[in-house]
Structure 1
Amino acid sequence: MSAQSKHFLNDPATLVLDSLQGLCAVNPQLVLDSHNKSVFVANPDRSKVALLCGGGSGHEPAHAGFVGKGILTGAICGNIFASPNASQVRRAIDFVDNEKGTVIIVKNYTGDVLNFGLAKEQYAALHPTKADKVKFLIVGDDVAVGRTQGSIVGRRGLAGTVLVYKVAGALADTGASLDEVYNLANWVASNIVTIGVGLEHCHVPGTVPALSHLESHEIEIGMGIHNESGYRRESPVPKLGELIPQLNTLLTAQDDPERSFLQFERGDNVVVLVNNLGGVSELELGAIVGEVTKDISQRGFGIKRILSGTFMTSLNMSGFSITLLRLPSEDTVGDVVSREIILSLLDAKPEVPGWKWSAGTAPAALSTTTPTQVTNISQDSHLALSAGQIDFVARIQRACNALIDAEPDITRMDNIAGDGDCGLTLKTGAEGVLQQISQGKISGNDVVGSIIAISKVAEEAMGGTSGALYSSVHSNSSSMIIDDPSSLSIHPPSRIFFSALAQGLQSQSLSSGTAITPSIWTSALQSALKGLYTYTRARPPSRTLVDPLDAFINTLLNSNGNNYESAVKVAEEAAEGTKNLKAKAGRSAYVEGDRLREQQVPDPGAWGVKTILRGLLAE
């Protein structure tokens, strides 16, 4: 596995400034100091406490994405993963000068602490009457850095820092005093813990691509946001249900002398922040949030708020972090503020692009609803036709196992010719059918019922572009035409085809218990193909699954159903022939046709049909 080393940019040297210019276009309330790579609220209310933050770039939306009404007054940006210098920071302190004072909040990294601290001291020396108007707060929330390891430098600052920004900024916006804002910010900073995990280190634009730090089967727990090594590596990559409890244990365990930074007790109330480190899809992030919520609740903690999204990144790192803010166990925090006010400050809606939407309430208990079930007439109205002497179930099993074995090849084809899901979709469907067999729902004594069961697997398990096409088995609509080339993958046609096949068997004036002969199969298959053609304009040669399917059925028809092996061979030739065809339908229509022919890539759906037919034939 290699790190993502390609980037969209003009020049690595100008990327930070280019990004800040884009941010100011998105957020017109900001003003940009180009020389000092800093952004500020253009017209700040100088009767209120100002909040400054900053650090190396590459953590967007932190820090500049939180500048605006309700959070930060200004942010100073260094180069990627490098602290801004003291003169940049000192200029920013001058810019936000106000009646009440300024709170500077930085993550605990040596460069940030030294440069921001030096700027504060220089400002105090230049303005002795204002020396007490600038306060300095360092946030270190990383539990991966144990007490021994961090004995001198302390813990690193991670995504929990943005909770400090948010609470302090919202309080400052109410007109609170400098001491009130600083004291609350300090309390939040003292009650947060964070742990990160990554699949791979990230790549800094403008640098030589590094060799992979992690094997494809590894993850690293406790990674920093500047590519620092973590606490430990895990192999193989655990499932979320195994990983999340490990991470939460590092956050909350009381028996680890190196990492028990907060005294958590069962019944404590917490705020949960799940942060995307830059390269995690929203799909995965949702699953992560679900597992975190479940595990934290099982530990006996009361979750008062959940925040999820991209808050503090490590460029494009494929990883995430979990932050817990332990809320006051008592009703007040000294004389500063109550628990409910902390939550209200978190809930206040700022006018900044970087802060993510949140519900403003505690999460409800997870529940799922099932629509009221209607009578499923397909369960008691179909004919129980027999497969006769054919070992129907064994053939279905062989075809399913063949699809499972072929998944890597079909996936490889579809990664080139389509959207990459065909192999896994077919494998999922095959596994679903095998499960139906193990449950006795597929039987040679009830072929129609078995085909209906297979059709339901196509609907419920295979997914893909199913949508409206995966509707009732007994739908009589024939007015829908597949006119979108992207929709002609194997899964919707398979659902339609199986449904039409079941109807074709029942339309031949047979009685229950009748053994299906080759001619009956052939008539039903011909009817099913006709039904499929009602919903697609694809006709052979089209570089789709209809090429082998049409070839198989028509060859079988010419032999009155008595030469199955020859029909399979013709279908295999048609599937092989898709290597040399220009796509007229299907997702391959979006891919450059010459490239597919040059690489001799067959249509994945056609290959799936070939695999099924050969599996049904094999002894």
Structure 2
Amino acid sequence: MALQKHLLNDADTLVVDSLTGLCAVNNQLAFDPPNKVVYKATLDRSKVALICGGGSGHEPSHAGFVGEGMLSAAVCGNVFASPNASQVRRGIDLVENDAGTLILVKNYTGDILNFGLAAEQYAAEHADKSNKVKFVVVGEDVAVGKTQGGIVGRRGLAGVVLVYKIAGALAAQGGSLEEVHDVAQYVASRIGTIGVGLEHCHVPGTAAPTHSILASEIEIGLGIHNEAGNQRISPIPPLSQLIPQLLDYITSTTDPERSFLPFKHDGKDEVVLLVNNLGGLSELELGGVVRAARDELAERKIVVSRVISGTIMTSLNMPGFSISLVLLPRAEDTQAPKASFLLSLLDAPAQTPGWKWSSGAPPVTPTPLAPPPHPPAKRAADATAVSASKPSEFVTAIQRACDAVVAAEAEITRMDTIAGDGDCGLTLKSGAQAVQKAVAAKNITGTDLVGDLLAVAKVAETDMGGTSGALYSIFFSALAQGVQGAAGGQLTTATPELWATALTSALKKLYTYTRARPPSRTLVDPLAAFVESYDKGFSEAVKAAAAAAEHTKDVDAKAGRSAYVDSALLTREKVADPGAWGVKTILEAI
């Protein structure tokens, strides 16, 4: 379900509160609260003014792009509702100038009617300036096919912001109204955008939505006002499969419903790529989308001249993203502006809080998706190899432990969302999967325990990371030292006595790097119980470790992730320490 909690004073005052806050951030701006118009406080009235607007809920669009080098004013309606003609008319009056005004709106009926009516009213009352107001409608949603769109056309999405930027830069450089209008119209005709959502958004002050995207689904082609998309996919595909499908929507020249842009697919197509956060996607995921889109375009031999990524046009708190491509003109397109000229306008500075930094250059060459495998751990060439008593069973036990950790990920993650920062399950799963790869690569065989333990330590260091990764890496590195030291160059097969000595040594060495001592509600609790009970036999040691892990439900946190969590919450929830549960899971599987 969409997140239905919001932080606000009152849903009825949210838009004005937000715009007032924006003006505090950007002191270039002035604000007309009754009409919800944000505009440049100081205007050069010898230059063309640009006005945009529409419903709120798409921040930073539209008002976040008002400022030097971009827009002159933005007229804002209530959430997902067009401003009325009187509001728009006030915006036109506020930026009235000698050079003329260009109105830029997304292709939605309410926006076109209200902004159009205001423009016509202005022209009727200022006959001498009737040719000084021009209008550009931007509709670039490729999810809406030609038949479905009919005479209405495509919806306007994040691509409109690229029109703001290019037209705004030209106006700032002194371009005439005709020049600014023509460039804006050209760019608008060369954009394709497709959106993807994990869930719909929730409008503050409204009832909970009656529809929802299932946890296993994504929706392609959804609008920015909670309009349903044209396709749902389950299970959720990896980006390497999803992005090609999305780019097909934009770049196809064979789909009669969606061949909107004149791609040639001859290796000379050149584009600007915009990856937009629809409001609720993490920057971490958005970076992955950028990479996947860049790599897929390179695979298709489509030249990416610029990449812009960030929160540009949202749908409130929608967890999703959109991809926009601007197909740049070719050298032989003599009736079009030069690609280099459009890129220079895109690169021109803009003093607005909403516009994202870009490099002003093409992206770097795509890099391989898969990292190289870990090389086998190295140790002294003259060291005596110590093998497990039954190497094949040793390897099988490790595989069982890895399988158990992967299977327990969801439960450990649940525990860690209560008792920590929510990453313990995924961290352990990453380590387990990396160990499985090391087994498959014959880096862990049971015939060289020191090498095997060093391989596990390396995995913990590089694939787990964080506190858990460091603790596991230290322990297994110390255990490798303990095995080598206990063997003393004499033993070639591990015995229970050797393991007992090595484990004791490893725990002692681990204690030099952590202050946690049992009972501390950390992974040290079951680990110490296991090591200290090892002389009673492996099974008894595992039981002791399991009991210690269970006991963390009743222990006050003295170290680790839980030390920062309200102890009353932990007492009430009766949740074990996730790291301790991971140790229990591993030992019981072995």
Normalised to the residue count of structure 2, the TM-score between the two structures is 0.96
Q: Could you tell me how far 1:375 is from its partner in structure 2? A: 12
Structure 1 position 397 matched with structure 2 position 422? no
1:480 maps to which residue?
none
Matched, 1:73 2:72: yes
Counterpart for residue 574 of structure 2:
600
1:165 paired to 2:164:
yes
The answer to whether the 8 Å contact 2:55/2:82 transfers is yes
What amino acid sits opposite 2:42 in the alignment?
N
Contact 1:331 1:338 in 2 (8 A): no
CA distance in 1, matches of 2:431, 2:190: 48
Q: Is the 8 A contact 1:331 1:339 kept in 2?
A: no
Once the two structures are superposed, what CA deviation does each residue of 1:64-113 show, in whole Å capped at 9, x if it has no partner? 00000100000000000000010111111111111110000100100000
Distance 1:349 1:594 in 2: 52
RMSD: 2.0
Report the 3-state secondary structure (helix = DSSP H, G, I; strand = E; otherwise coil) of the residue aligned with 2:421: coil
Task: Give 1:145 deviation, angstroms.
Answer: 1.1
The 3 A distance-change label for structure 1 pair 333 and 181 is farther
Count, aligned residues: 585
Q: Which residue of 2 aligns with 1:421?
A: 423
Q: What letter is aligned with 1:518?
A: P
With normalisation by structure 1, the TM-score equals 0.91
CA distance in 2, matches of 1:551, 1:14: 58
Bigger shift: 397-406 or 321-330?
397-406
Rounded to whole Å, the distance in 2 between the matches of 1:377 and 1:430 is 21
2:353 equivalent in structure 1:
353
Q: Are 2:153 and 1:179 aligned?
A: no
State how 1:82-481 maps to structure 2 within 5 Å. Answer: 82-266=81-265, 267-330=268-331, 334=335, 337-367=337-367, 377-378=378-379, 380=381, 382-389=383-390, 391-463=393-465, 465=466
Between the aligned partners of 2:454 and 2:377, the Cα distance in structure 1 is 12
Contact 1:404 1:427 in 2 (8 A): yes
* Aligned counterparts of 2:143 and 2:565: Cα–Cα separation in 1: 46
Q: Which deviates more, 422-431 or 73-82?
A: 422-431
Structure 1 contact 200–212 (Cα < 8 Å) conserved: no
Q: Give the corresponding residue for 2:505.
A: 527
Give the secondary-structure state (helix, strand or coil) at the position aligned to 2:488. coil
Residue deviations 1:322-372, cap 9 Å, x none?
Answer: 1111111136653x742211110000011111000001011221247999x
SS at match of 2:193: strand
Q: Secondary structure at the match of 1:45?
A: coil
8 Å contact from structure 1 (residues 333, 339) kept in 2: no
CA-to-aligned-CA distance 1:213-264 (integer Å, 9 cap, x gap): 2111111111111111112111221111111111111101111111111111
User: Are the structure 2 counterparts of residues 149 and 376 from structure 1 closer, same or farther at C-alpha, using a change threshold of 3 Å?
Assistant: closer
CA deviation profile, 1:520-561 (whole Å, cap 9, x unmatched):
2111111100110000111111111111111221122xxxx3
Q: 1:3 touches 1:212 (CA, 8 Å); kept in 2?
A: no
Question: 1:413 & 1:234 partners in 2: Cα distance?
Answer: 30
- Distance of aligned partners of 1:305 and 1:598 in 2 relative to their CA distance in 1, 3 Å threshold: same
Q: CA deviation at 1:569?
A: 1.5
- How far the C-alpha of 1:121 sits from its partner, in A, is 0.5
Aligned match of 1:550 in 524, 528, 534?
Answer: 528
Structure 2 residue ranges without an equivalent (≥5) = none
* Structure-1 residue corresponding to 2:42: 43
**Equivalent residues of 1:518, 1:562 under 8 A apart:** no
Could you list the runs of 5+ residues in structure 1 that have no partner in the other structure? 466-486
Output the CA distance in 2 between the equivalents of 1:148 and 1:360. Answer: 38
Distance 1:30 1:594, change over 3 A: same
1:535/1:25 CA distance change after superposition, 3 Å: same
Partner of 1:584: 558
Give yes or no for contact 1:402–1:612 (8 Å, CA) kept in 2. Answer: yes
> What amino acid does structure 2 have at the position aligned with 1:306?
V
Aligned partners of 2:101 and 2:132 also within 8 Å: yes
Q: Distance in 2 between matches of 1:306 and 1:154?
A: 27
